[in-house]
Amino acid sequence: MSPGTLYPTLHRLEADGLLVSEQQVVTGRARRVYRATAAGRAALANDRRALRELAHEVLGTEVWAGPNQA
């Protein structure tokens, strides 16, 4: 994924309330660090669930959810 795709996507997710960001200094350089909000984590869980259901319909088999994933 190119920066021209990544950063607009991060900004949109932040504007939608799914991410928050803060400026941090890491090894002497300013970095923007992104973190999922509660709404972002809920949206991710819903999207994972929908993708598993789609895979089940297409493949005809259960797709492993992984630990602690609904």
Residue boundaries of the structural domains of the chain: 3-59
| E strand map for the chain | 19-26, 29-36
In the prediction, which pLDDT does 3 show? 83
The residue whose two tokens read 């200094």 is 25
In the prediction, which pLDDT does 21 show? 98
pTM of the model as a whole? 0.73
Q: Taking a C-beta distance cutoff of 8 angstroms, is the pair 52, 63 a contact?
A: yes
Higher-confidence position of 64 and 15: 15
In the prediction, which pLDDT does 62 show? 75
In the prediction, which pLDDT does 61 show? 78
Q: Taking a C-beta distance cutoff of 8 angstroms, is the pair 33, 24 a contact?
A: yes
Residue-wise pLDDT for 26-66, tens only, equals 899 999 999 999 999 999 999 999 998 998 899 887 776 66
Q: Which of the four CATH numbers 3.30.70.100, 1.10.10.10, 2.60.120.200, 3.20.20.70 does domain 3-59 have?
A: 1.10.10.10
